[in-house]
Amino acid sequence: NIFSYIFYKIFTGEVPCFKVYETKYSLAFLAKPPVSHGHTLIIPKYHSRTLTDPGLPDEFLADVGPIMKKIAAMNGEDSYNVIQNNGRTAGQSVDHVHFHAVTKPANQPNQGLILTPQSWSSYLRSMKNTLRTLIR
């Protein structure tokens, strides 16, 4: 699946991304297209198709929780969805383990999980100040 290589190209720098956070084992970057303000993907820097692949470092899984907290704080939200589709039957479309951090704005209570992609250009305009804060 060619899409599984997109994450490899992102963490090797072949494909640019808006990096949010990085550790030795993990990379977090803005999703394209996003479904919410601050929608971020968290991927391992090692190729693993699913959570049960023996090559997936436990350290990556240990990174996910703290990274989620940082993403929520970055977006000024304390409500968010953590999404991970593991396997084709579960809806996994990219053959590389990844988590979605989908923050939920406080002014939209009780909406649960709503996945409505935004246009990339309007999203970047809305993230302009957040991205400037991250770069400083």
Residues identified as active-site: 98
Q: For residue 28, what are its two tokens?
A: 């977090």
Specify the DSSP class assigned to residue 21.
E
Please state the three-class secondary structure of 52-96 as a single string: CCCCCCHHHHHHHHHHHHHHHHHCCCCCEEEECCCCHHHCCCCCC
Task: In whole angstroms, give the CA distance from residue 42 to residue 96.
Answer: 11
**Integer Cα distance of 45 and 35 in angstroms:** 24
